[in-house]
Chains A and B, each alone.
Chain A
Amino acid sequence: MSFAFHDQTLEKIAALRERYPQPQALVLPLLWLAQEQEGWLKPGVFEAVAALAETAPMEVYRVATFYTMFHLEPVGTYHIQVCKTLSCKLCGQAEILEALKAKLGIGVGETTGDGRFTLSEVECLGACGSGPMLQVNETNHENLTVEKLERILEGLA
């Protein structure tokens, strides 16, 4: 049940280690690799990362809690992150968010019962000229309309 990096990942990590003066620099890259493998930073991750980065598990936990994109709890298969900052807000973000909440039947910060969708509001995603917009996992959907939302959700099988 405990976490372990896959063998191919360990090879990647060894190569990555060569690129930094000290192993502590690996903390963020390793947290990303662990999250990509498991979907979230499950028990055992901090110990495994700490061993490779030559630091303490509690230090890794401390770092992980600072950054918004690291999940310390499971998230839905599709993490829908809607930008809430000023430019998007000025261009109709509120309507998009309300439509999403209605379609998914959940509020901000919640996950659908079937575990497929988690809905979040996030700060500026750097797409200010094409708002309102959202990110599903690592894909951007920009210039949103309520009609487009339908197609986006349908596309997520």
Chain B
Amino acid sequence: MKDVRIVSRRFGTPNSHTLESALADGAYMRLKEAFAMGPEAIVARVDASGLRGKGGGGAPAGSKWKLMPREDPRPSYLAVNCDESEPGTFKDRQIISKDPHLLIEGIILTCFAIGAHHGYIYIRGEYAPFQKILQRAVDEAYAAGYLGATVDGFDYPLDITIHRGAGAYICGEKSAMLESLEGKRGHPRLKPKQKEPEWYFSNPTLVNNVETIATVPFIVYEGPEAYRAFGTEQSPGTLLFAMSGHVERPGVYEAEFGTPMLEYIEHFGGGVRGGRKLKAVIPGGASTKVLTAEEAAQTTLDYETLRAMRSSLGTGGMIVMDETTDMVAALKNLLEFYRHESCGQCTPCREGTGWSDALLQRVLEGRGSAKDLDTLLELAETMNGKTICVFAPAVADVITGFLTKFRSEFEARTAG
């Protein structure tokens, strides 16, 4: 298995978060090359690299960047999504605490490429310990002249502002994040028919995940082909995959796309804890459809393969479950999460998450019937494709995944 370190290269270095350490490893040293290239060339590199968004959606970054206007009287903005709240996902926190200057350099390059002079980092409120480290790095960058009126002497004013969230998973949805950044409730926005830029107070805005932006320096400096040397044709490059749950060595380990899932779990994770038997894997954060152990054995970690299996790669945060796992209790745990986190604006989601959690509570307590299981599947159907954002379709996937693939466990809990 190739040991690839594109964004995690410096994670093991002592004091890697400091400017001194980052400079010693080459941070900010090649900015001049990028400025000489010009904004269009940088966008072209990112587009050619096939970089896909690493916040869970996997949409091509280049396509989003190309939507940003070049001739517009309004200011453009970059908003970096550090709301990381998908259960099983803990990778962006590694970047901001272990190599914040990599993120800052990525923000500089991205803002220059899209003509933005202000980058916001929207960080979830619960990440206060890591926000301190990130803020210190931003302050260091200002003091050293990499931010402010000029960037390393180059005539391009640039500011970075860290904006703290306050506890709302839905603010990881990019339009809800922008609503929150505008000082409002995090209600996702309706999606336009044609692709257009996001907006922040009516100004064109690019939203990208922390890891996506942290990958930009590599692509700009080493070129798109260097990124495509890893991964697959449709899923080029690497991801900070993660494992948690019933695995010997849970954690975040960068790997190239296309790595077989069980090999990844074995090589980096030491396999299922205590040598037990694998039962199920949630492949990419809670909102991706659960895989049986047999399915996991056929899975490679890339967008197209998971899609073909009617699941999704999501954030690449694998939740590993062994034979001791009560799948009814596991689904209950997740449904409580979704009930808590529904923003409430769409009826199928607001009512569906509450109702499905209540139904499963009955089943868990032994008061449910086989009809309740059918109702759960109906609820999943009601929540699929009829709401403003993809939160509800994710809940639908979660319900159908557990109920159809582990049906016997649920039936055993019902009265009949």
A-to-B contact residues, CB < 8 Å = 19-22, 24-29, 31-32, 53, 55, 62-63, 66-70, 84-87, 89-91, 122-131, 135, 138-140
Contact = CB atoms under 8 A, between A and B. Distances in A.
Q: Which of A68, A129, A139 lies at the interface centre, i.e. has the most chain B CB atoms within 10 A of its CB?
A: A129
B85 A21 contact: no
B52 to A, nearest CB: 22
A32 B333 CA distance: 30
Interface residues on B, range: 35 or more
Contacts, number: 144
B126 A28 contact: no
Contacts of A128: 87-90, 242, 244-245, 250, 317, 319
Contacts of B201: 21-22, 25
A90 B90 CA distance: 16
Contacts of A123: 85, 87, 169, 337, 340-341
Interface string B125-136: 111110000000
A33 to B, nearest CB: 10
Contact of B129 (A89, A122, A138): A138
B31 interface: no
Interface in B224-278: 242-246, 250-252
Contact of A126 (B84, B182, B245): B84
23 contacts: A22-B182, A25-B163, A25-B183, A28-B180, A62-B185, A63-B183, A66-B168, A66-B186, A67-B125, A67-B168, A67-B186, A69-B166, A70-B167, A85-B334, A86-B286, A126-B85, A126-B126, A127-B93, A128-B87, A128-B245, A129-B90, A135-B126, A138-B128
Contacts of B168: 66-68
A14 to B, nearest CB: 15
A140 B87 CA distance: 17
Given A21-B200, A89-B333, A124-B85, A67 B245 contact: no
Given A87-B244, A128-B87, A25 B118 contact: no
Contacts of A19: 118, 159, 161
B29 interface: no
A27 B182 CA distance: 8
Given A24-B182, A28-B183, A86-B319, A124 B252 contact: no
Contact of B181 (A25, A69, A87): A25
A120 to B, nearest CB: 11
A63 B185 contact: yes
A124 B183 contact: no
Contacts of B343: 66
B347 interface: no
Contacts of B89: 126, 128
A63 B87 CA distance: 24
Contacts of B86: 124
B330 interface: yes
A44 B365 CA distance: 45
B166 A31 contact: yes
B203 interface: yes
A69 B203 contact: no
A137 B252 CA distance: 25
Contact of B93 (A31, A67, A86, A126): A126
Contacts of B93: 126-127
B181 A126 contact: no
| Among all A-B residue pairs, the 10 with the closest Cβ atoms | A68-B167, A27-B183, A67-B166, A128-B244, A69-B167, A129-B250, A138-B128, A87-B244, A24-B183, A66-B185
B163 A86 contact: no
Interface string B180-203: 111111100000000000001101
A129 B166 contact: no
B129 A140 contact: yes
Contact of A129 (B124, B129, B243, B325): B243
A121 B89 CA distance: 19
B183 A55 contact: yes
Contact of B203 (A21, A85, A91, A124): A21
Contact of B245 (A70, A84, A87): A87
Interface in B126-183: 126-129, 159, 161, 163-169, 180-183
Contacts of A32: 125, 164, 166
Interface string B39-69: 0000000000000000000000000000000
B90 A28 contact: no
Given A31-B166, A84-B333, A127-B90, A90 B319 contact: yes
A94 to B, nearest CB: 10
B319 A63 contact: no
Q: Which of A28, A89, A138, A139 lies at the interface centre, i.e. has the most chain B CB atoms within 10 A of its CB?
A: A28
B38 interface: no
